[in-house]
Every structure is written in structure tokens, then in C-alpha cells.
Amino acid sequence: SAVISQKPSRDICQRGTSLTIQCQVDSQVTMMFWYRQQPGQSLTLIATANQGSEATYESGFVIDKFPISRPNLTFSTLTVSNMSPEDSSIYLCSAGERATGNGYTFGSGTRLTVV
Amino acid sequence: QKEVEQNSGPLSVPEGAIASLNCTYSDRGSQSFFWYRQYSGKSPELIMFIYSNGDKEDGRFTAQLNKASQYVSLLIRDSQPSDSATYLCAVTSRDYGQNFVFGPGTRLSVLP
């Protein structure tokens, strides 16, 4: 399974600013995903990021707020733009080949607090 | 709307007992089923996956799938305090591409 390095692990940001989260995978992978997880809650998919195409966003998430880059098969970034306290959450990236394979692995997460 | 439901927790079992975690899903086209374990403050880690009806065993873990009943379960034998975590059920279907639909999770506490 792929090993994912995610950074930063945590950050405290001022409202109105932006934060970019990076995920580096130790092998080339087709699928990369970005999730948000509120404390005590399950995972909510933000978008799917495939190399060479625009990210596909889930309902309730828009590109202007959460721009994503996927420049190659081992790297992706998620930017949380114009942050408000409601964006405080844990953000996770996930990667793998196919959902019908051995599943996907997760990065260690970024705990974001917006003040 | 594709939904995945899990038995509400927290679930408490004594050390050495069998913990039974249940998951139901609404999409009959669902194809693959995964169980993730998430310790508090950590990211989810994959522990089991199952595609075919029946049982699949891996050490102390057994996944059971019944597609007719749209039901998948995870049994943990000889539960240990280190098994205390939140267990997330994830489901995929052809109609949903390569994405997972995650259940809300069940928090398991194994009492020494």
C-alpha cells in the first residue's frame, strides 16, 4: 500500500487567510481524494483529484473555496481559501489505485483551527 | 442517495469477548466493502476488505458479507484494549466511481 506524507500536521490560521495542505505519496497512484472530518464525525469527501484532469467536487464544495492541484501521480495539494471558523476541521488526503483493490490509505491529517 | 449506516455506539465489550460491528448499505450495486479502524487523533487505517458473500478471516478479524440483505459485519475475537477505536465501514459501487461512501462509524471500547 502507498505511504502518504501530509503536511502541515496542524495549523492555527487567521480568518480570511488561506492554507495549502500538501500530500506526497511514495509511489505513483491513480486516485487521490481529499476529505474533511469534524471531531467525532465520519469522513466527508471534498473532491477527487486525478492527474491530468480537473478535480471533481462533491455537493457543497466548490473550487473557489477548495482549489486542488494534482501536478503528477505522486503529489496533490488542497487549499482552504478565505478561511472562517467554520473551516476548522481535520483535513485528510487519501490515495490508491482502485477502490476494488486493496482500498485506499490515508495521510496523517491536518488539524486546522481558524481564529 | 447512497447511504451507509452503522450500529450506533459506543459499544463496550469486556476484554477477551467477541465484538460485533454492523454495517448496512442502501445501494444494491455496491461492490466492495472495507473496514477501517481509526484511533482517536489518528487517520483511518484499513484492516479488512471483502467483495464476495460469506466470511473472510484475517487473524482475530472476520468480515461477513450478505449482499442479499445488504449487510456487512466485522467480528473481532478475543478483543483487546488496544482494539478500542472507531470502526468505519466504507462501500463502493460502480455508479459511484472509485469513491468510498463512509458510514458514521462505531466507537468500540474494550474494557480490561
List, for residues A45-74, the tens digit of each pLDDT value.
Answer: 999 998 878 899 999 999 999 999 999 999
Rounded distance between C-alpha atoms, residue A34 and residue A43, angstroms = 10
Q: Give the CA dihedral A20, A14, A108, A98, nearest 10 degrees.
A: -40
In this prediction, the residues of chain B whose per-residue pLDDT falls under 50 are: none
Whether residue A99 is predicted with pLDDT greater than 70 in this model: the reply is: no
Strands A89-96 and A105-106, by their bridges, are antiparallel
Nearest to B98 among A99, A108, A109 (CB): A99
| pLDDT computed for residue B106 by the predictor | 96
Q: Which of B32, B42, B102 minimises the CB distance to A100?
A: B32
Average pLDDT of chain A to the nearest whole number: 92
CB contact under 8 A, A103 and B43: no
Nearest to B79 by CA among B10, B20, B5, B4: B20
- For residue B59 the three cell numbers come to 487473524
Residues of B in contact with A103 (CB under 8 A): 34, 36, 46, 49, 90
Quick check: A101 pLDDT over 80?
A: no
Q: Give B47→chain A minimum CA distance, Å.
A: 10
Asked whether residue A100 carries a pLDDT value surpassing 60, the answer given is no
- Grid coordinates belonging to B23: 454495517
Q: Are B44 and A104 in contact (CB under 8 A)?
A: no
Contacts of B51 in chain A (CB under 8 A): 100
